[in-house]
Structure 1
Amino acid sequence: MSEESRERYSRKNETQQLRAAFDQLDCNRRGQIGAEELRAYFESAGHKAKKTEVEDMIWEVDEDCDGFVNWPEFQAMWQRCREDKAGTEPRGLYNVVLFLLHAKPCPTGGGHQVALEEAMKITYLRVGKEALDAQLAAVFGTADLNSGKTLSLTEFLSCLHLHQLQQIRSRPTMKSKGSGVAGIAAK
């Protein structure tokens, strides 16, 4: 599959998948996601949110400051995070949506889990073949399809958070680039 056709296919299906994820979180069907709805989803997934985690996720995306995430804000959040190569865009709700897009019911009951094989299919469409193994290894700790590894929402969010922190820490700083005030003074 060419890069261009992969991108076209990914974008075509992405809007439908995003809408389904939005609708799943918007359980009261008001066209917006509030803290109570997000908290209810976390509870159903067996995730114990930290004290301000839910409110922070809403706040990071809520551009009109009404305390809710509407469909245009949800789409804008997805696009910003998807295009953010530096890893600096807030990713709380984005990571929850990634889980929703990858998760399947746990065969033993008790919520949903992300299996490596499912994540691979969707990740390939989003990042391509070159970045696939690195993305899977970052989230699952392996790119081996035979590992049988699955993650709960809590494990998934923790892995993605750690990966984002590593990405931010590995970026060159102003000092290491030799620019900025320190770099000018040294010249």
Structure 2
Amino acid sequence: MSRIGKKPVDLPSGVEASVSGQTISVKGPKGTRQFTATDDVTLSVADNAVTVEPRGKSKRARQQWGMSRTQIANLVQGVTNGFKKELEIQGVGYRAQVQGNVLKLSLGYSHDVNYDIPEGITITAAKPTEVTVEGIDQQRVGQVAAEIRAWRAPEPYKGKGIRYKDEYIFRKEGKKK
């Protein structure tokens, strides 16, 4: 039995959900998102809550049960609050700024890195060393943050690079004479 799958996903006020076949569409103040579940689960909306039930006792049905419930909960959170990833830039001369629809990063290369901001994602740089990635799709927010971080991942000797706000970098001691 899936402990996660048993819990219904409550819909806060201002959020509507509709099921057509295996596709659930969730509409909220920040936008509309949808998810298509596999044929191993049954989706239903009743009493301002979405419930997911497995269609059998197979291992795959039980796996899809918990995963589908979590995906629907992420849709509801995305259209109500949205998702946010915060990045910190550390290093002498490393900075970021947003110009229109482009994030300009100075990361010690011979040229600035221009990152085109995808549609549905909002990137802000309140300070030159802080970048915030926001959106209603958790996967896309995480992917964009990972792509930005990949330009200069933090290195263990001086700690220079782009890191997530809460990320801990294990520091190494330098070479001895």
TM above 0.5, yes or no, is: no
Q: Which has the larger radius of gyration?
A: 2
Q: TM-score range by the shorter chain?
A: under 0.3
Tell me the TM-score normalized by structure 2: 0.28
Tell me the TM-score normalized by structure 1: 0.27
Structure having the larger proportion of residues in helix:
1
